[in-house]
Chains A and B, each alone.
Chain A
């Protein structure tokens, strides 16, 4: 049996990073969310969250739109189809690896 722990180490780090996985999971559960919602959900600082969202946008996993609501700036983030597919596959892989890890035994 393949070593699931080696497969775990090989997961896509762009998506697997905890903050980015949390952001993508939230965005996959809705049509879009604003920056404040994602910040409250993840507990990240504004700078840190901006940095993660920028990485996701560079990779085409999310779209970012800046708008004004009631004359106040608001940043709206939406997951792309590529991002939605990527995060679903990632969850699927995590579930599979979880199952394998529970059954794994060292081969002699």
Chain B
């Protein structure tokens, strides 16, 4: 008997589980944060970040092609796409607001990381709900990464000694660098989950 819950989960969340697409953005975030941290005063030459952004776009397109050629294509159900767009737009706007508040150091925790973690929790709940899945731990590594992003919001509370000791000029750089790494790991975990759940042909062709 096939695992109906897992089949639904994989199909409904196919685009979300194409985790390699997140890797260029996680690496971009990490590298840009490290670069920003190394600047003395406002950055004047944005060549490197813009080149990296361009490279990220090219890599994303190449990775998308890889998934289509290797794992196939689906057209998601229409109503799910509409809700995805609304939620993504809403959370992106909130994240921008959180970033602005972070730069003003109004609260001692990183609001961007908190907003990001909350959006991932809601997204994970949505992944389960759309698939009618009852097992919350159907994608355990994803859950762990979400918790880690949430915890990253509290890293500034470790104190100046910790993030200055590692070489960061401010807790924002420290937290965003950590988030960049976690996004990369989350993406790799999603891809491994997909690849293991959908291996290449498992039976011989009997014609």
User: Which A residues contact B (CB, under 8 angstroms)?
Assistant: 18-19, 21-22, 25-26, 29-48, 69, 74, 91
Contacts and interface: CB of A to CB of B under 8 A. Distances in A.
Given A22-B7, A26-B7, A91-B4, A39 B201 contact: yes
Given A45-B201, A48-B205, A25 B74 contact: no
Given A43-B199, A43-B203, A26 B78 contact: no
B200 interface: yes
A10 B198 CA distance: 31
A22 B1 CA distance: 9
Interface residues of B, number: 28
A48 B2 contact: no
Interface of B: 1-2, 4, 7-8, 10-12, 14, 71-78, 131, 198-207
Given A29-B8, A43-B202, 15 more contacts: A19-B2, A26-B8, A29-B12, A31-B74, A33-B72, A33-B73, A34-B73, A34-B74, A35-B72, A36-B71, A40-B200, A41-B7, A69-B73, A74-B73, A91-B4
